Amino acid sequence: MYTCRRLPPALVANVLDNFSVRLNSTGKRPSAPLGSRILTDPGDVFKHNMWDHVQWTEEEKEKARRKAEENSSVRIPLEEQGKYDTKACTYWDRFYETHQGRFFKDRHWLFLEFPELLPSSPRNIATDGCHGGQRASCAPPGGPPVDSDTRRHQHGGLTQQHKKDDTTECQPSRNGEEGGNDEFAVNATSFPGQHAAFRILEAGCGVGNSVFPIVNSMKETGAFLYCCDFSSRAIQLVKDHPDYNPSSCHAFVHDLREETASFPFPPQSLDVILAVFVLSSIHPARMQGTVNRLCQYLKQGGTFLFRDYGRYDFSQLRFKKGRCLSENFYTRGDGTCVYYFTKDEVHRLFSNAGLEEIQNLEDRRLQVNRGRKVVMRRVWMQGKYRKTHPTPPS
């Protein structure tokens, strides 16, 4: 199952030099981007829970490809596939009803990988004006240490609008690119967070494992966070959290796939959109339209931050025959779905929405269960894309 190659010293040095980081001897997760704990000696594999920048041999890549091909050879009949789309909300509600807030760890690593999430300082928000809508520059906030990715990542949560009054306090226009500047977005109508100069949307927030690290780190900055999820149960858990504060955060039920569902803010009003293990839960045929619609709400110069499952991740290879819906798209035993991306697919998805690539990385790691002496090859995708052109119609 596992092969470890001793990396040449020159390659190790190159990795470390490129990322300008030092190996962390304290046992905590190393610095971003994508970590710096490099396994150079196979005998050290069980010393840590995670190793970064793992190299795959051509033989290992081919073995993974064959395994995915094998577990995709028997597919769920077409007449049965529809329920995984139409009943998706039910499956996710059951998931959150069962697990509540216990399944996922809070994502404090966000601030190392995505410093764009926060403005550089409270002063910038205050002096640049609550009404001017100027975007503050971004810098790492220097948040808490990163936790290891030893638990199953959140699968996102397709978001659905169950109650009209749950989603918004207003009904802003959905005409995509009209207005053309921040002044239009702020003055178009009254909406939650309208006076904030820096606005973030987390699409598919689940029970708030990204929400509350962000909310607690942006205190006194004047920034505002919107968060939505397909599951009404998940959103209720967010609102019941002791750190939830409507003055800095607005949680609402929303279906990202739905073409006519409105958001509680106008087009071109967001500085950042965050989608972490979310798009993979949407049927591949719906992804492009979903991303296009989301990007209509980004300001010019706004950033879309993305992290999700990568092709041939351990979780893909362990699917049994009969769980495949379409190529690289599966349903789990609880009815929730997951897709596995490549770098080329990620690039096309966002470039077709009119965004410019800043970062598109394949994050290959070795996850270790030291108690059971088991190693797992994990593959995640991470991307950052900036809005430089009007978004095409969805």
Mean pLDDT of 206-224: 91
Question: What one-character-per-residue DSSP string does 87-101 give?
Answer: THHHHHHHHHHHHTT
Question: Given 3.40.50.20, 2.60.120.470, 3.40.50.150, 3.40.50.300, which CATH number is that of 79-309+331-361+381-387?
Answer: 3.40.50.150
Question: Residue 271 — left, alpha, or beta (φ > 0 → left; ψ -120 to 50 → alpha)?
Answer: alpha
Contact, 272 vs 303, CB < 8 A? yes
What DSSP state is assigned to residue 129? -
| Tokens of residue 170, six digits | 């207003």
pLDDT tens digit string along 318-333?
Answer: 999 999 999 999 999 8
Contact, 201 vs 274, CB < 8 A? yes
pLDDT tens digit string along 157-206?
Answer: 333 333 333 333 333 333 344 333 443 344 456 999 999 989 999 999 98
Residue 389, amino acid? H
What was the pLDDT predicted at 140? 35
pLDDT range class, residue 235, cuts 50, 70, 90: very high
Contact, 213 vs 110, CB < 8 A? yes
The residue ranges of every structural domain in the chain are: 79-309+331-361+381-387
Q: In 3-state terms, what secondary structure has residue 110?
A: helix
